Structure 1
Amino acid sequence: MKPMQSGSWRAMARTVSIIGLSVLTACASPATRFYTLGTDAQPTMASSKAGSSSRIDIRPVQVPPSVARSQLVVQVNATQVKVLEDDRWASSLPDEIRYALIAGVSQEADGPGAKAVMRNEDDPVYQVAVDVQRFESWPSSHVLVDVVWTVGASPGAETLTCHSVVSEPVPDGYQAIVLGHRHAISAVAGQIAEVVRGLATRPVDRPLRTAGAWRGTGKTTLSCPQFADGVQTAVNGAAARFGE
């Protein structure tokens, strides 16, 4: 058998290299996309701000176990979801929601985040607890956020608990879903900020009461706020709790 010419060896080597690169390209994983819920909240009018000395302390956020993961989770139908391996949150979903709320509430209530300033015993600290009941993503349809949140001024045990349900329509695409959730969380942040402002402007010698309670007694009332016009939302429930 005649020995193979050097040119033939080079041709075979090039062919093997091309085949190898093609196999590697076919097996390569698609690029992973990362998203954040950072908000674009803007400060409100100066006349309604809580004051620069107030501080907002948003506690770790609770979310349903089904969405407490790094991947985006979208609804296929009412009983089935899809976990997107290549579309992920930049940090854990509870942290994404918390950071977005800290930014939004602090900006709208004109109070820096609790971790961003030195503690001063004379400065009021408004503690916020957030429990996300539902965090749904329906591609090409809408997103829905169902949140129970509580605001209380410290020191003291007075709190106001509200229930917000926000639905935002979204077009096709996972980026649109993220933007929808950003708008929804921003709307909730605006409500929390409104309560903080109400607590900040309330006379310190008057106890917190829910709207409609203690009629005729002259007590200051504070109720869960409604969303602004143009936002597809519903707000349900309001309760003032004492001694907790």
Structure 2
Amino acid sequence: MKLARTASAAFALLVLTGCASSAPHYYTLTTAADGSTSTTARPAPFVLRVKPVTVAERLNQPQLVVHQRNGELLISDNALWAAPLPEEIRAALTARLEHSLNTTDTSGLTPPADKPVIGVRVAVGQFDVWQGEKATIAATWQLDFSKESGQITCQTQHQRAVQGGTQERVIIQQKLVQDVADDIAVSVLRHRCG
């Protein structure tokens, strides 16, 4: 009887161990360099209000998605975004814009009375990785300067070569989001696209 219980417990442990998957890895699009602030540059004469980012529904997955050459999509339950993808993209864009423009995002806060607020709304229609080939991003953004200055709508598309595993792909995706943020920063400063 005791031997049967021991064997049964050992079998149950073996089954549970065999069914257990490895712990998931979480990734973010925000980098340490985006969050650093410049203390030498003068603060911008404006603040930003970065609205929630919209992402094409097919992209809005908690898992990292990779296109295979045969048309399949590889969706791994062990490689996940640290937050929902729209939030990840918004956080990375905001950090990069704050750093490059030397300003502050006032979303959810009362903006200072002495600085105009530039509204930023971004929609991402493409954010894809093809295994061993490339990663792409396509985004449209709208800047709302003020009642007097009006709005502009711009778009951009970037592509980078990608090699290696998940970590390398995430680094490339981080750079693609930075590319979009840099394009937005130029349009903020010039009050026009490109």
Larger mean CA deviation between 188-197 and 78-87 belongs to 78-87
Ranges in structure 2 where 5+ consecutive residues have no aligned partner: none
Distance 2:111 2:62 in 1: 33
* Distance verdict in 2 for CA 1:93–1:223, change over 3 Å: closer
CA shift, 1:98, in A, is 0.7
Deviations 1:46-69 (A, max 9, x none): 66x6x3452111122121111112
Quick one: higher RCO (CA 8 Å, sep 6+), 1 or 2?
A: 2
Aligned-partner residue type, residue 96 of structure 2? G
Ranges in structure 1 where 5+ consecutive residues have no aligned partner: 1-8, 200-221, 225-244
What is the TM-score with the length of structure 1 in the denominator? 0.69
* Distance verdict in 2 for CA 1:135–1:223, change over 3 Å: closer
Distance 2:17 2:193 in 1: 59
RMSD: 2.5
What is the TM-score with the length of structure 2 in the denominator? 0.85
> Is 1:72 the counterpart of 2:64 in the alignment?
yes
Q: Which residue pairs with 2:167 in the alignment? A: 175
8 Å Cα contact 2:134/2:162 also seen in 1: yes
Distance 1:68 1:116 in 2: 24
Q: Which residue pairs with 2:14 in the alignment? A: 22
Aligned-partner residue type, residue 64 of structure 1? A
Q: Which residue pairs with 2:95 in the alignment? A: 103
Aligned-partner residue type, residue 188 of structure 1? V
Distance 1:117 1:194 in 2: 25
Identity %: 26
Aligned pairs for 1:43-82 within 5 A: 51-77=43-69, 79-82=71-74
Aligned pairs for 1:130-145 within 5 A: 130-145=122-137
Q: Which residue pairs with 1:204 in the alignment? A: none
Name the larger-Rg structure: 1
CA shift, 1:104, in A, is 0.6
